[in-house]
A and B are shown apart, each in its own frame.
Chain A
Amino acid sequence: MPFGNPNHPGPYGNSNHPGPHGTPGQTGPGAPAGQPANTAPSGQSVPPRPPAPPVPPAPGGPAGGGSLQPVKLFWKHPHDMGGLSFKIWFLTLLTFGLYRFWGKTEVRRKLWNAVLLNHQPLEYTGTGWELFLGFIIVLIVVFLPVMALFFALALYFGPDSPMVNIAPIPLYVFFFYLTGVAIYRAMRYRLRRTRWRGIRGTMTGNPWAYGWTYFWTTLTLPFTLGWSYPWRKVKLAQLLVNDSHFGTQPFRLDASWKPLLRPFAAAWLVSAAAIGILLLLPLAKEASLIGASQTKEMAPYVILGFIALLLASAYFWLRFQASSMNYLTGQTSFGSAGFRLDVTPGGLFMLMLTNLLIVIFTVGIFAPVTLARAMRYVMERMEITGAVDLAAIAQATDSIEGMGEGLADAFDIDAF
């Protein structure tokens, strides 16, 4: 019985039964949706994994030392994203917007499938129902009470009363805190529903802890005039990456903010110059440092100079973006394997420009197309270096939450 006989309960038991297998009660990837609530028998005390069933010898040799294998990353661009975009747009219209959750799922399934690792695609196992359920829960727990509060305030104090603006401030602060929580939860949801060779990802940390760090590091930005940004970016990325696992194997991000400081400083100074000139020009005129006739003569040069500065600051920000993406990816490791990314400011600029044009000319309908293009741009420039001990990666054992990323949806945070 090498693979476990599906007709025989065996050590695997039934997948809906809290058997002694690694993922208790986990919903089968293609099981009928709408019953995601059958998640875990409360997750605690997962019994130790039984001795693994006889695994047939892998092509790479006996499990253990010899299973180190290189992993090749390949992007196989999904077919007909435009048609899918139209279909989703039409069905969303037809269902008063409800289809968007299922549409999102369809898009992700296609995008995940386009990522091939050693010729085998990633698999997205999330369902539209999960996203829908997550949204409903956030609607009931967060949004309805808040709407009711605002409504009551406006009715009680009158729409013009300052109380209407003052009273909800603590609420805004709390929402801001929730933003970080939502980011973490959305990423965890996606990782837990990403499989390769049947092994899924997960995140092991606490979303609320991340939310808190997100909150207070954001507060440092105004006090440092933005200069804490590179440090914050690295810190937040480290929290997310170091909590991430594929199966039992963790990812690791060893990074410092120092290498990001130079590209950041360049971008900051050029933007500061652009803003400074914009602010100083009217002042200079007012102080009649520049005469009226001079103003007329100089106008075209000033405008050209200003546009040049604006373009320059856009370039330097993209350069900062590209170098931080490349740096953070390069510093990430997975066991004995590493990653390499090589995106360029020019490439990012062209990608953003073309995606913007696509969105504009299709009134947003082709948003899934732009997602696929963005993902292709990154994936085609990414490489996995070194080798991975595939035999050492066992299935993740935590329970999977039954609902989707309602919080992220509600706050309009969406990476994919």
Chain B
Amino acid sequence: MEEFAGTYSDGQNALALDVRVWLGGDGLHISGGGHEVIWPYDQLVSSGPVLARHPAQIGCKTLAGARLHVEDIRFAGSLMDHAPHLGHRAHNRRVLAPMFAAVLAIAALIAGLYVSNISIAAGIARLIPQGARAKMGDQLAKSMTHDRFCTRPEGVAALRALTARLKRPGSKDAFVVRVGKMGMVNAFTVPGQRIIISEKLLDFADGPDELAGVLAHEMGHALELHPEASIVRSFGLSALGSLMFGQSSNMETLAALMLQLAYSRQAERQADGWALKLLRQAHIDAAPLATFFRKIRKKYGDSGRFLTALSTHPATKERIARIEAAGHWVATPALNKSQWAALKKICD
């Protein structure tokens, strides 16, 4: 049996004892100073992997702080035959495998939340008080439109009338709908039930019923707290980013990210559902909304990249079909002719 020279410290003080070490069938035999002790192989530990052809330093699980140091580089190789759990491969398995598992688990969790419709963000969004939501929404609306809103009183009155008509009767909803001077066909909802319709969209709409449909759809987003949830979500994502890469990201990127965040198909379906419900109870025809979607689709295609919010509305056949299948109900025009004319001129 091959013997190795080593030094032993008992972990009680900093003295070292010269010992002889050999690998027995029952464990590591250490003898010196007239005594002998056996460390069973399965009790051996080391702070890093024991590398072949390197000096080895090992401890014993039940003897906190005790250390055996063997300078002879042949020792580590022989030890591996008896205690492979100290080796490089076992070390990786024990230490790194859980880390990679954690990475995969985080990825799976994100994917799972995305696929399923459980939204943690929506739950948190519900906790934000209405006053704060309104403030947030006003700030976002301001920065998105560079604070350029259309304010001709007749137009504003018409828009207010349309909003009041679409509102759920008896509800506490406090929608604030404004027309903003933006260079794209767009309508978007920001927190606090704030809805902004672009001047271009107003031009693009043929008749008040089309506009009413779009507005009802946006109200659906507001009622479902989609904008609030998307802010919470982007905040969570950037927190996750800082977890992965260290340091925090800056707020401007975050705000920009929020504006670009697409609503999921599920969210769009919910908003469409609300649109049909609100239009029906306001006695406004839903078919023009389908027409509007069709026009958008013709102009920009399905995967339209043309704007931030509406483009994420996949104006697919499916959605158009759903609106058309909703049936018809007794309806009157959303606005009378003079109101519509006034609204069209709101930006003049």
Contacts and interface: CB of A to CB of B under 8 A. Distances in A.
A and B part of one assembly: yes
Interface of A: 1-7, 12, 14-15, 21-23, 26, 28-34, 52-53, 55-60, 63, 67, 95-100, 102, 106, 109, 113, 118-121, 123-125, 127-129, 132, 135-136, 139, 143-144, 146-148, 150-152, 154-159, 195-200, 246-247, 388, 390-395, 409-410, 412
Given A3-B37, A99-B99, A198-B65, A52 B12 contact: yes
B161 interface: no
Nearest to B94: A32
Given A21-B64, A23-B64, A59-B18, A155 B140 contact: yes
A73 to B, nearest CB: 15
A269 B106 CA distance: 55
B48 A120 contact: no
B66 A3 contact: yes
A274 B13 CA distance: 55
Contact of B30 (A3, A98, A154): A3
Contacts of A196: 14
A199 B245 contact: no
Interface in B1-21: 7-18
B235 interface: yes
B102 interface: yes
Contacts of A67: 15
Interface string B33-65: 111111110010111100000010111111111
B143 interface: yes
Given A6-B63, A155-B140, A198-B9, A60 B15 contact: yes
Contacts of A132: 99
A6 B62 contact: yes
Given A95-B99, A98-B102, A139-B243, A6 B11 contact: no
B32 interface: yes
A306 B251 CA distance: 41
Interface stretch (B72-80, B131-139, B163-171, B326-334): B131-139
15 contacts: A2-B35, A30-B59, A32-B94, A53-B12, A58-B15, A58-B17, A97-B244, A97-B245, A109-B47, A144-B239, A158-B139, A197-B67, A199-B13, A199-B65, A390-B16
A30 B46 contact: yes
B25 interface: no
A87 B15 CA distance: 37
Given A6-B43, A109-B48, A102 B14 contact: no
B307 interface: no
B61 A31 contact: yes
B62 A95 contact: no
A33 B35 CA distance: 33
List 4 tightest A-B contacts by C-beta distance, closest first: A56-B33, A30-B45, A2-B35, A197-B9
Given A98-B244, A147-B248, A56 B17 contact: yes
Contacts of A29: 45-47, 59
Contacts of A32: 94-95
A21 B247 CA distance: 41
Nearest to B19: A56
B125 to A, nearest CB: 13
Contacts of A129: 95
A139 B248 CA distance: 9
B99 A102 contact: yes
Contacts of B143: 158-159
B96 interface: yes
Contacts, number: 227
Interface string B83-102: 00010000000111011101
Given A3-B37, A6-B43, A56-B32, A199 B61 contact: no
Assign chain B's interface to a size class: 35 or more
B154 to A, nearest CB: 30
B224 interface: no
Nearest to A120: B69
Contacts of A198: 9-11, 59, 65-67
B336 interface: no
A391 B15 contact: yes
Nearest to A99: B99
Given A98-B102, A100-B246, A158-B139, A12 B63 contact: yes
B63 A4 contact: yes
B336 to A, nearest CB: 38
B142 interface: yes
A395 B65 contact: yes
Given A21-B64, A410-B246, 6 more contacts: A3-B37, A23-B64, A123-B47, A155-B231, A159-B252, A395-B65
Contacts of A393: 13-14
Nearest to A109: B48
B10 A3 contact: yes
A128 B103 contact: no
Contacts of B98: 33-34
Contact of B47 (A53, A125, A136, A412): A125
B254 interface: yes
Contacts of B33: 2, 56-57
A6 B132 CA distance: 63
B5 to A, nearest CB: 12
B255 interface: yes
Interface in B298-325: none
B252 to A, nearest CB: 7
A124 B40 contact: no
Given A3-B37, A128-B95, A155-B139, A392 B13 contact: yes
B103 A95 contact: yes
B130 interface: no
Interface string B237-276: 0110011111110011011000000000000000000000
A151 B47 contact: no
A30 B47 contact: yes
B99 A98 contact: yes
A113 to B, nearest CB: 8
A163 B6 CA distance: 67
Contacts of B67: 123, 195, 197-198
A197 B67 CA distance: 6
Nearest to A71: B14
Contacts of B140: 155
Nearest to B37: A3
A58 B238 CA distance: 58
A143 B251 contact: no
Contacts of B135: 155-156
A146 B248 CA distance: 10
B63 A154 contact: no
A28 B45 CA distance: 8
Contacts of A125: 47
Contacts of B43: 6
